[in-house]
Amino acid sequence: MSSTTPVDPPVSVTVTTGGPVSGAIRPPGSKSLTNRALICAAMASGTSTLTGCLRSEDTEVMIDSLRKCGVRIEIDGDSIRVDGSDRIAPDKVEPLFIANSGTSVRFLTAALSAAGGQYRLSGVPRMHERPIADLVNALAAVQNGSIICESPNGCPPVLIQSDGWQGTSSVGCDTPGSQVVLQVAGNVSSQYLSGLMMAAPVAIENGHTSVTIEVLGELVSRPYVEMTAQTMRSFGATIDIHDQDDDARDRDNVSVRVIVSGEGYRGTTYAIEPDASAASYFWAAAAITGGKVTVQGLTPDAMQGDVGFCDVLQQMGCTFTHDEDSMTIEGRAANGIDVDMNKISDTVQTLAVVALFAQGPTRVRNVAHNRFKETDRIGDLACELRKLGAEVDEHEDGLTITPPSGGPSSATLETYHDHRMAMSLSLAGLCAEGVEILDPACTVKTYPEFFKDLEELIGRPHRWT
Ligand SMILES: O=C(O)C1=C[C@@H](OP(=O)(O)O)[C@@H](O)[C@H](O)C1
Ligand SMILES: C=C(OP(=O)(O)O)C(=O)O
């Protein structure tokens, strides 16, 4: 039996087809910025007030974990007050459950390793398949104490027994005033580097003069690293990012060198931008239906690289405009494109669904790291797009999508516990009959109210079972 109000928990949702989607929307706060601000605020001296925060599973597991570490956090709607401390670890910390939040497990692993204490960080089964070994190995090299992955697959659970970091500079080891130098790989996830960057001011509070982090080889998802630096600066940290030139890369395989110096974090008042990855679904709704959607609270200068999704839609034929507080997509994404999405990989699934309605194939490149996310976002995405009638070639680094002639066919689609699979695939239902999305509640990870907000924007009810 189906209804127009969600049953709890819903088995499936089907978006009702209709004409062009037009309207304005302000998505909830950015997951990436909320979790960064929570980490910095927790390790700051003094109190911070964060406004416009995202309230979802990914931020709840961060908040729960910080509370277990002794941080006082008070929540009032989307405002969060954090009483920070550079010593965030009490004597005994309960096991930390991180669900499937990559930012939480990677940022906390680095921060708690720098702060010291004993911890176990674990999550849902998929979290125990998501890599963290490169980060753990980088930390193990500077750890006073030990840090290991519990199982040999290089994924969480992570066990930490730490007395902080030790200096490795020529000034002499393990002496206050020394420098800490870390090296980390960057080809699987940028979250390792972001985690190390945000942890560095804690080592400085503990007496080290500076922390240098060298990225070995390629660095994926680069805009998130800039976002990390900007957030840290808002909390008083001093940080410089140096992209190495080709000669330097060839010589020592270091692509980026980050230096954190100055002092520790200071509490502050911090406003979070709306989530740009979430915004991609609403811009895509305009692009698929030939409508006009304005997302409020974001501009091309936003800290989140995913606002770049509008440029991609523009390449496909949409009109993109913006003012000082909004970004608008108008008209159909008429033509397929060949696009490198390394910097905006959370919008690959959104683009894939837009591509189903364009003329000609779309090739998405340079997103091999998408296989390590909530699910394999290349292989599993290809599988669901084929059910809609598309011809999909899966590549090691992405996909080529040839849209079905006559538009997508009706299908019942798996979501693999991946919020972005549910949100993006549901958009096919705006123009194709009978696109049923299983387990729509998986959007709780970053956007619990997604289907309600989509319903309001399109002005017609979904069908729930
Ligand atoms: O730092 C962040 O906030 C994020 C970085 C990205 O991960 P990768 O660096 O693993 O691509 C992105 O996919 C994730 O949703 C959020
Ligand atoms: C990859 C994602 O999240 P995370 O890595 O933080 O779990 C995402 O939100 O798409």
Q: Indicate if 64 belongs to the active site.
A: no
Q: Where are the alpha helices (H) located in 151-262, listed in sequence order?
A: 191-205, 223-234, 246-252
Residue 224 Cβ < 6 Å to ligand 1 = yes
Separation CA 58–CA 154 (nearest Å): 22
The answer to whether 189 is annotated as binding is yes
Cβ of 455 closer than 6 Å to ligand 2, yes or no, is no
Q: For residue 100, which atom of ligand 2 is closest to its CA?
A: 7
12 pairs with which residues across the strands? 438
Give yes or no for residue 101 CB within 6 A of ligand 2.
yes
Number of H helices and number of E strands within the chain? 13, 24
230 annotated to a ligand binding site: no
Nearest Cα residue to 209 out of 179, 250, 173: 179
The ligand placed nearest to the CA atom of residue 35 is: 1
**Residue type for position 23:** G
CA dist., res. 293 & res. 433, Å (int): 22
Give dist(CA 393, CA 390) in Å, integer.
10
Please indicate whether residue 103, judged by its CB atom, sits closer than 6 Å to ligand 2.
yes
Q: Is 346 in the pocket of ligand 2 (CB under 6 A)?
A: yes
By most ligand atoms within 8 Å of CB, the mutation choice from 58, 109, 129, 189 for ligand 1 is 189
pLDDT digits (tens, 9 = 90+) for 299-314: 999 999 999 999 999 9
Nearest ligand 1 atom to alpha carbon 372: 10
* 191: amino acid identity, one letter: Q
Angle 31-42/223-234 helices, nearest 10 degrees? 40
In order of 104, 134, 315, 351, 458, the CA distances from 338 in angstroms are 33, 31, 10, 11, 29
Atom of ligand 2 nearest to the CA of 445: 9
- Residues 204, 264: contact at Cβ < 8 Å? yes
Query: 342 with 220: CB under 8 angstroms?
Result: yes
User: Ramachandran region of residue 373, left (φ > 0), alpha (ψ -120 to 50) or beta?
Assistant: beta
Ligand 2 touching residue 462 (CB < 6 A)? no
308-328 burial code (b ≥16 CB/10 A, e <16): bbbebbbebbbebebeeebbb
| 148-173 per-position pLDDT tens digit | 999 999 999 999 999 999 987 545 44
Pocket test for ligand 1, best of 30, 224, 272, 447 (most atoms within 8 A of CB): 224
Q: Which residue in 306, 346, 380, 418 is the catalytic one? A: 346
* Fold designation for 31-261: UDP-n-acetylglucosamine1-carboxyvinyl-transferase; Chain (3.65.10)
Residue 32 CB less than 6 A away from ligand 1: yes
Report whether 218 contacts 255 (CB < 8 A).
yes
What's the rounded Cα separation, in Å, for the pair 33 and 37?
A: 6
Instruction: Let me know if the fold of 12-28+274-464 is the same as that of 31-261.
Output: yes
**What superfamily does domain 12-28+274-464 belong to in CATH?**
Enolpyruvate transferase domain (3.65.10.10)
Amino acid residing at 354: V
Ranges of each domain in the chain: 12-28+274-464, 31-261
Q: How far is the CA of 366 from the centre of ligand 1 (A)?
A: 15
Task: Give the closest ligand to the alpha carbon of residue 304.
Answer: 1
- The CB of 189 under 6 Å from ligand 1? The reply is yes
The three-state secondary structure class of 207 is: coil
Ligand 2 atom 3: residue of nearest CA: 102
Look at residue 299 in the predicted model and tell me its pLDDT: 98
- How many CA atoms does the CB half-sphere of 324 hold within 13 Å? 0
Q: Which two tokens stand for residue 59?
A: 């931020």
- Distance of alpha carbon 238 from alpha carbon 432, whole angstroms: 51
The DSSP result for 229-253, as a single string, is HHHHHHTT-EEEEEEPPHHHHHHH-
Q: In Å, how far from its chain's centre is CA 76?
A: 24
Token digits of residue 324: 């000082």
Residue 113 Cα to ligand 2 middle (Å): 22
| Alpha carbon of 321 to ligand 1 centroid (Å) | 26
At 247, the amino acid letter reads D
106 lines ligand 1 (CB under 6 A): no
Looking at the chain, the whole-number percentage of residues with pLDDT higher than 70 is 97
Task: State which ligand 1 atom lies nearest to the alpha carbon of 228.
Answer: 1
Query: Binning pLDDT at 50, 70 and 90, where does residue 398 land?
Result: very high
Residue pLDDT, tens place only, 339-382:
999 999 999 999 999 999 999 999 999 999 999 999 999 999 99
48 in a known ligand binding site: no
Output the average pLDDT for the chain: 95
Closest by CA to 238, choosing from 229, 251, 247, is 229
- Would you state the pLDDT for residue 90? 64
pLDDT at 219: 97
pLDDT digits (tens, 9 = 90+) for 50-100: 999 999 999 999 999 999 999 999 999 999 999 997 666 666 789 999 999
Structure confidence at residue 91 (pLDDT): 67
The long-range contacts involving 340-344, CB below 8 angstroms and separated by at least 24 positions, are: 340/365, 340/366, 341/312, 341/365, 341/366, 341/367, 341/398, 342/220, 342/221, 342/222, 342/366, 342/367, 342/369, 343/221, 343/222, 343/223, 343/305, 343/308, 344/223, 344/305, 344/306, 344/308, 344/309, 344/312
Q: Yes or no: say if 341 and 306 are a contact pair by the CB < 8 Å rule.
A: no
pLDDT digits (tens, 9 = 90+) for 441-459: 999 999 999 999 999 999 9
Nearest to 228 by CA among 82, 348, 110: 110
Cβ atoms 256, 241 nearer than 8 A:
yes
Flag whether 365 is marked binding: no
> Which tokens go with 203?
């080592």
Q: What are 184's strand-pairing partners?
A: 215
Per-residue pLDDT at 176 exceeds 60: no
Which amino acid belongs to residue 109?
T
CA proximity to 89, closest of 197, 155, 195, 164: 164
Sign (positive or negative) of CA dihedral 166, 172, 175, 181? negative
Full-prediction pTM beyond 0.90? yes
User: Residue written as tokens 């692509």?
Assistant: 255
> Is 32 annotated for ligand binding?
yes
In this predicted structure, what is the pLDDT of residue 272?
Answer: 98
